[in-house]
Structure 1
């Protein structure tokens, strides 16, 4: 058993989460836990022993299935980032070659919609490392584009070739924590919702899709609904990545209660 006041590593919180689940169900085994995390039993053993460090995909899955508190989830993410940087003979980064899990502090720097829109545009087939073209494509001023590129470059999210001026993303996609209460994330989501409202009236229906579904649910299955939504988002990303891309789109999904909760 891992005592909460002796948590010093990501593996300690893994062990604590497993212990809590097994306490509730004595038939819950390490194999069951590995299945939840979508990893092998051997991989789980390596993580719990400290022989391996948690990568970005594993961190994201743990945060989805863990029964730990919001504060413990934030601590887990920080452990993952710090341990990945410290183990020079193991995985040195939380990111894979294609993705990066952002801390809340990192996300706060680039939380405005222009940053993610720029990085999405930079992944498109038509991208040009030209400030004037980028400004026109995203509907921004050239000054704002220069500010966005400068902040991304200083924060290590893009590289700029000093000879050609070519701008490239360091990572193909960035992800943030899920199910973590944060005013920064709420404000970023509000920005995207506001832009969706603007596009609803400004863009022809053939170039957009806005749909609504109202249905009764069992609130006890909320985690399952979230999991289905996230799987569909991943499928959408995979489908788009196989195309010759020429535009940047926002997908905003809101699954919120209409009825008054707990009444």
Structure 2
């Protein structure tokens, strides 16, 4: 691991923030990424190996772009490295992943008791064995998972998609998630899920700011629930959408 390189990257990021906010300190940086000041100091000076866990906290807490994320992930210590760098899905790839079970299977790989057998996967997700087999083959063909000895491992740290760009593939993926949400709503108790909604009159000029807030919440939420032993796979859906037609274009159907 290039500890100096990681330290330089973090110091540079801190300096960038301090140019906008001179009162922002190293302790503020530690709080922002959710790592104790002492631990972050050890990471910066190579006294503690950079693991995937800490790398995720840093790239999410600092809201790094894809290039910065990949650079951070490339510096993960060899003994701590579990996956390759983050991969952004191309639209053609996403077209093949428009069913919830593909992403669910990818996240099953993170569980300590994961078993690569289609029968185990099918049992955990409540899907036919044939569907589990087909999904594993698809993920293998796309390079998202790979054979490692007699087992199978993830080949990417995480997957992301384009944002705010029209995509029929993304529409299909969201529809798949929504249909699964309806199924879960009807078949589980409130003890294991949370469904809620709020209807409000809004100022459209605040939409971009609201979307950034939702994005930040998703990242912090994932850090919280992924910490510790991972024994279940969950899906978080947040819907924020218009119920009214634009006043200036009343004939437009939303």
Shorter-normalised TM range: 0.5 to 0.7
Q: Are residues 1:185 and 2:170 paired? A: yes
Q: 1:144 aligns with which of 123, 131, 139?
A: 131
Q: 1:59 offset after TM fit, Å?
A: 4.7
- d(CA) in 1 for partners of 2:139, 2:84: 18
Give the corresponding residue for 2:189: 204
Q: 1:126 offset after TM fit, Å?
A: 2.5
RMSD: 2.8
Equivalent residues of 1:123, 1:172 under 8 A apart:
no
Q: Are residues 1:218 and 2:225 paired? A: no
Q: 1:118 aligns with which of 74, 89, 105?
A: 105
Give the corresponding residue for 1:230: 215
- TM-score, normalised relative to structure 2: 0.64
- d(CA) in 2 for partners of 1:145, 1:151: 10
Q: Secondary structure at the match of 1:168?
A: strand
Q: Secondary structure at the match of 1:159?
A: strand
Give the corresponding residue for 2:142: 155
Equivalent residues of 1:126, 1:245 under 8 A apart:
no
Equivalent residues of 1:98, 1:173 under 8 A apart:
yes
Equivalent residues of 1:157, 1:170 under 8 A apart:
yes
Give the corresponding residue for 1:43: none
- Residue segments in structure 1 that go unaligned for 5+ positions in a row: 1-30, 36-55, 62-83, 85-95
Q: Map of 1:42-81 to 2, 5 A cutoff?
A: 57-59=64-66
Please, which moves more after superposition, 237-246 or 200-209?
A: 237-246
- Residue segments in structure 2 that go unaligned for 5+ positions in a row: 1-15, 21-62, 72-82, 249-254
- d(CA) in 1 for partners of 2:66, 2:233: 28
Q: 1:256 offset after TM fit, Å?
A: 0.5
Q: Secondary structure at the match of 1:189?
A: helix
Q: 1:154 offset after TM fit, Å?
A: 1.3
- TM-score, normalised relative to structure 1: 0.62
Equivalent residues of 1:97, 1:171 under 8 A apart:
yes
Count of residues in correspondence between the two structures: 179
Q: Map of 1:83-94 to 2, 5 A cutoff?
A: none
Give the corresponding residue for 2:237: 252
- d(CA) in 1 for partners of 2:213, 2:108: 27
Q: 1:98 offset after TM fit, Å?
A: 4.7
* 1:183-203 CA distance string (max 9 Å, x none): 110011011111111111110
- d(CA) in 2 for partners of 1:187, 1:245: 28
Q: 1:111 to 1:179 in 2, by over 3 A?
A: same
Equivalent residues of 1:125, 1:244 under 8 A apart:
yes
Q: 1:231 offset after TM fit, Å?
A: 0.3
- d(CA) in 2 for partners of 1:135, 1:149: 11
Give the corresponding residue for 1:5: none
